[in-house]
Structure 1
């Protein structure tokens, strides 16, 4: 259950995404343009062959929407191999002393881009002579995006994206006439299972660089925006001006809604059983808990023909669904398991060991402490098994031991 101070939404469902559109949108929401320009100009200080780099940042209109446009050009350079581009991006990010997460983003993005090209055209990274992605705009857009996101402190944010529009129709590039999306773009999105949508115009909307950036920053994909308070909205402009729609990428920076509870994503597993013994049901519960189920419940019910039965209900982490489903089927013999993705609101919890004096003996008891997001203590609950052990050992009532341990835990917490 991670907590975030910011949320970034990349809305690419209308006009897709390119590296320059993403960078322009980040500048529009407040990234320091001077830092971005300086970082891109840094490329010509190295022995990479990029000379006289020119960077133009301006406001343009796309179907009456004001958007930020960034263009990066340089004098002609020799063709770059995949290995060349990886070295250029990784060394530049390191020399600029970007944060560790920014450097990792830059490295992941260029590797994603180059790997897609080499898979399509050659298996040798060092022998892959790249065409469109070999120009200065490719490393410039990746380095620029890393610097801008670092400046906006977005690498520690929750980053969401919409499904990406990829356009349609045919277009020409260095490898001849192909259909949109470009083969490299489609390979990048396929490799990361990123959802796409065709249209809404006959043109290339998602570029390989844009797709590489997108799949390496977006942790979640949804047609709908998450719950948040929008703080800043920025628009990055594409090169073309379409009649049918504004050629813009929208990014929104927001804050999570104030909530004293944490949100957790889980799964609910269910099955109906009416033909197994109580012993088998009990053993199934034990097996599920051993295998990592968060909770297991047995709910009485009536099935067809008024036969009494039970609903076996399991709360689990989503990553454990297949494994726990198999446990249910093997232990109970049921023919199927229903699975429901679910969100739950929970308190943060910690286990605290407290020393408590019971009679003349000092005992150590584990206590579960539940707090809200602001750190306020909501509940203190001693572990039942440990309290019962002390009750049996001392002959004192369970209720009395529980109250004694709870009071001692409060005293310890107040001293923190």
Structure 2
């Protein structure tokens, strides 16, 4: 199995990512052909040396600078460029990440939001160029990869001057992107090393990982503009591995509250509503509070961007006066997918979705038939639910093993 592995020990920006991918083998002419007319820019690529490390420097020059655009304007530019469908989809997704971060920082809806630095022609070229480079590498038999991984990101330190004034590193939008994307980061240095564009591209494409063992196929370095104590380059490697991270990492938050005056019916209704609103898991535990009062602890696992919404829902439904949000944790998990199969039960064929979980090396962990579908089948044919689930999962394991 092959993967692209980024090591942002000196941060990352759109042009650094693009330079590293071109250094790995992405076609310069393919990228230029699309981004120069799309963003009205000129793209130049040359080798440079940063503290003794040979790296590829990508320079994007604007032909007619445009300092700000609406999100909708950027989407129109991308949709009218005739890009491959996969590239267009990824470019939209990257800019949506930036847009949501800017919206959260400024407290404005997307329809009213102006992009400043990230709405300029060179930023659009960086994002679309990176999407084209990933696409080109993936479709080249020599550089084809299965997934994209990223190590801890050095965001730098100190302060940065932007259109909103002097702000601490990481800049607010960059920090919001890191929060939503779940990529681990640290601060080392006295200047900004991670840009919003770089953060958004890595957040969309890459999963967090620490490589234990691998075989390196090829290496690329993208040059940054900063002069730092260590080389200001981004290293990207195409690696072969048998399973660098058996468990996937992401970031979650845990919400908790104790209630002593809520009925079982209300709790059951709350659990259903929280799951429908995007909670990853909901648990209710019987507990004792002060003076021996029987009560329940409600515990919810959530992505960080959903926590406040779910907390409000808990308070509204239960009358709780507060919800504890435990600081962000790392969660490890296995890859899961939903696959539907035709299954014969009592002489009839039913289409049943299965939740399949595997380790990175393909080892099967669980095959779980979807409850609601099995419940409906049980009602239709008159077999006990447990029998329907047993028959479905036996057949599912036979086919997936």
Aligned residue runs from structure 1 range 190-205, under 5 A: 190-191=172-173, 193-194=176-177, 200-201=189-190
* Residue 91 of structure 1: how far off its partner (Å): 8.2
Residue of structure 2 aligned with 1:31, choices 25, 28, 37: 25
Q: Is the 8 A contact 1:261 1:345 kept in 2?
A: yes
For the residue of structure 2 that corresponds to 1:312, the secondary structure is strand
- C-alpha distance in 2 between matches for 1:73 and 1:370: 45
How many angstroms apart in 1 are the aligned matches of 2:123 and 2:6?
Answer: 23
User: Alignment partner for residue 217 of structure 1, among 177, 201, 212?
Assistant: 201
Asked whether the equivalents of residues 58 and 70 of structure 1 are also in contact (C-alpha less than 8 Å), the reply is yes
**Contact 1:36 1:144 (8 Å CA) reproduced:** no
Q: C-alpha offsets along residues 217-251 of structure 1, whole Å, 9 cap, x if unaligned?
A: 132799x9524456455332345655x33232334
- Judged with a 3 Å threshold, the aligned counterparts in structure 2 of structure 1 residues 410 and 213 are, in CA distance, closer, same or farther, namely same
Q: Distance in 1 between matches of 2:283 and 2:78?
A: 55
- Report if the CA contact (8 A) 1:270-1:311 is conserved: no
Distance 2:317 2:271 in 1: 13
Tell me the residue number matched to 2:209. 226
Deviation at residue 36 of structure 1 after TM alignment: 0.7
- In structure 1, which of residues 284, 309, 322 is the aligned counterpart of residue 266 of structure 2? 284
What residue number does 2:221 align with? 235
* From 9, 28, 31, the counterpart of 2:6: 9
**Structure 1 contact 102–155 (Cα < 8 Å) conserved:** no
Specify the alignment match of 2:57 in structure 1: 70
The answer (yes or no) to whether the contact 2:31–2:132 under 8 Å persists in 1 is: yes
> Which residue pairs with 1:100 in the alignment?
85
- The structure-2 alpha-carbon separation of the partners of 1:146 and 1:349, relative to structure 1 and needing over 3 Å to count, comes to closer
- For residues 388 and 126 of structure 2, the distance between their equivalents in structure 1, rounded to whole angstroms, comes to 63
Rounded to whole Å, the distance in 2 between the matches of 1:282 and 1:405 is 27
TM-score, normalised with respect to structure 1 = 0.57
- 1:178-201: CA deviation from partner (whole Å, max 9, x where unpaired): xx4343898995446346998835
C-alpha distance 408-194 of structure 1, shift in aligned 2 (>3 A): closer
Q: Determine which of 136, 144, 154 is the counterpart of 1:151.
A: 136
Give the aligned partner of residue 335 of structure 1: 321
Give the match for residue 60 of structure 1: 49
Number of corresponding residues: 348
Q: Does 1:309 align with 2:301?
A: no
- Equivalent position SS for 1:285: helix
Q: Aligned equivalents of 2:368 and 2:78: distance in 1?
A: 52
Quick one: distance in 1 between partners of 2:165 and 2:25? 27
In the aligned structure 1, how far is the partner of 2:302 from the partner of 2:232? 40
Q: Contact conserved, 1:8 with 1:253, CA < 8 A, in 2?
A: yes
- TM-score by length of structure 2 reads 0.59
Paired residues of 1:263 and 1:344 also in contact (CA < 8 A): yes
Mapped partners of 2:63, 2:332: distance in 1: 55
Alignment of 1:157-196 (within 5 A): 157-158=147-148, 160=150, 162=153, 164-165=155-156, 180-183=160-163, 190-191=172-173, 193-194=176-177
CA distance in 2, matches of 1:405, 1:240: 59
8 A Cα contact 2:367 2:396, kept in partner: no
Q: Deviations over 1:87-142 (max 9, x none)?
A: 9x9589946xx5334346668889989xx9xx9xxxxxxxxxx9xx78xx878756
Relative distance call for 1:142 and 1:166 in structure 2 (3 A) is farther
CA offset digits 1:375-414 (Å, max 9, x no partner): 85845668585688689x68xxx5xx73476336645875
1:351 Cα deviation after fit: 6.8
Distance 1:408 1:107, change over 3 A: closer
User: CA-to-partner distance for each residue in 1:36-67, whole Å, 9 max, x for gaps?
Assistant: 15643788899x696xx8x45325241x4x23
Give the secondary structure class of the aligned counterpart of 2:161: coil
Map of 1:173 onto structure 2: none
- DSSP-derived class of the 2:230 partner: coil
